[in-house]
Amino acid sequence: MWAPASRARTARPQVTEMSSADVVPLLRRAWAALQQGQPAPAKADCEAALQQAPQSFDAWRLYAMTLQALGDAAASRRALQRALALRPDDGATALDLGTMQLNAGEFDAALASLALAMQRLPHEPRAAFRYGTAAFNAGDYVQAASGFETAARLKPDWAEAWNNLAAAHGKQQDYVAAISAARNALQLNPDAGAHQALAALLSNLFDRTSLQEGLQHALRALQLDPSLAQAHRDAAILYRKLDDPTGAEAHARRALELAPRDIDIIDTLGEQLQLNRKPHEAVDVYARALHAGVDSPTLHRQHGIALLHDGRLDAARDELRDALRRAPDDQRTIAHLGVAVAQHDADRATQWLGLHRHVHAIELPTPDGFADAHAFNAALADDIRRHSQQRWEPAGLAARNAYLSGDLLMDRTPAIVGFEQRLREAIDAFIAQARDAHVAEAPLDDDALSADVFLRNVPERYRVHVWATQAAERGFIDTHIHEDSWLSGAYYVELPPAIRDDDNTHAGWIEFGRPFASLPQPPDAALRRVCPKVGTLLLFPSYLFHRTLPYAGAGERISISFDLAAI
**Which pLDDT value is given to residue 401?**
66
Whether residue 56 has pLDDT greater than 80? yes
Per-residue pLDDT band for 405 (boundaries 50, 70, 90) equals confident
Average confidence (pLDDT) over 317-344: 94
Average confidence (pLDDT) over 77-105: 94
**Which pLDDT value is given to residue 406?**
80
**Which pLDDT value is given to residue 398?**
56
Rama region for 393: left / alpha / beta (φ>0; ψ in -120 to 50; rest): left
Whether residue 15 has pLDDT greater than 50? no
**Which pLDDT value is given to residue 222?**
98
Average confidence (pLDDT) over 82-93: 95
Average confidence (pLDDT) over 90-115: 95
Average confidence (pLDDT) over 384-412: 77
- Say which range, 100-109, 440-449, 489-498, has the weakest mean pLDDT: 440-449
Per-residue pLDDT band for 441 (boundaries 50, 70, 90) equals very low
Average confidence (pLDDT) over 195-217: 95
Q: CATH fold of 360-439+448-566, please?
A: Jelly Rolls (2.60.120)
The angle formed by the CA atoms of residues 246, 248 and 254, to the nearest 5 degrees, is 105
Per-residue pLDDT band for 492 (boundaries 50, 70, 90) equals very high
First to last CA, the chain: 21
**Which pLDDT value is given to residue 450?**
57
Whether residue 399 has pLDDT greater than 80? no
**Which pLDDT value is given to residue 290?**
97
**Which pLDDT value is given to residue 20?**
57
HEC profile for 159-203? HHHHHHHHHHHHHCCCHHHHHHHHHHHHHHCCCHHHHHHHHHHHC
Whether residue 445 has pLDDT greater than 50? no
Per-residue pLDDT band for 391 (boundaries 50, 70, 90) equals confident
Per-residue pLDDT band for 99 (boundaries 50, 70, 90) equals very high
Whether residue 200 has pLDDT greater than 60? yes
Neighbours of 135 (CB within 10 A): 25
Q: CATH fold of 261-327, please?
A: 1.25.40
**Which pLDDT value is given to residue 567?**
82
**What distances in angstroms separate CA 54 from CA 39, 50, 72, 362, one per listed residue?**
20, 5, 20, 69
Overall residue count recorded for the chain in this entry: 567
Quote the mean pLDDT of the chain: 91
User: What does 310-323 look like in DSSP terms, one character per residue?
Assistant: TT-HHHHHHHHHHH
How far is CA 103 from its chain centroid?
25
State what percent of residues in the chain have pLDDT above 90: 81
Neighbours of 549 (CB within 10 A): 15
Average confidence (pLDDT) over 241-266: 97
Average confidence (pLDDT) over 132-155: 97
Whether residue 195 has pLDDT greater than 90? yes
**What distances in angstroms separate CA 251 from CA 222, 229, 257, 524, one per listed residue?**
11, 9, 10, 40
Average confidence (pLDDT) over 34-48: 94
pTM of the shown model: 0.82
**What distances in angstroms separate CA 80 from CA 101, 109, 477, 478, 535, one per listed residue?**
11, 13, 60, 60, 62
Per-residue pLDDT band for 394 (boundaries 50, 70, 90) equals low
* Nearest-10 crossing angle of helices 125-137, 159-171: 30
- Of 355 and 405, the structure prediction assigns the larger pLDDT to 355
Whether residue 377 has pLDDT greater than 90? yes
Phi then psi for 420, rounded to 5 degrees? Answer: -55, -45
Neighbours of 426 (CB within 10 A): 19
Average confidence (pLDDT) over 239-257: 97
* Nearest-10 crossing angle of helices 107-120, 141-154: 40
State what percent of residues in the chain have pLDDT above 70: 92
Average confidence (pLDDT) over 82-90: 95
Residue ranges of domains in the chain: 261-327, 360-439+448-566
Q: In angstroms, rounded to a whole number, what is the distance separating the alpha carbons of residues 438 and 474?
A: 41
Average confidence (pLDDT) over 305-314: 96
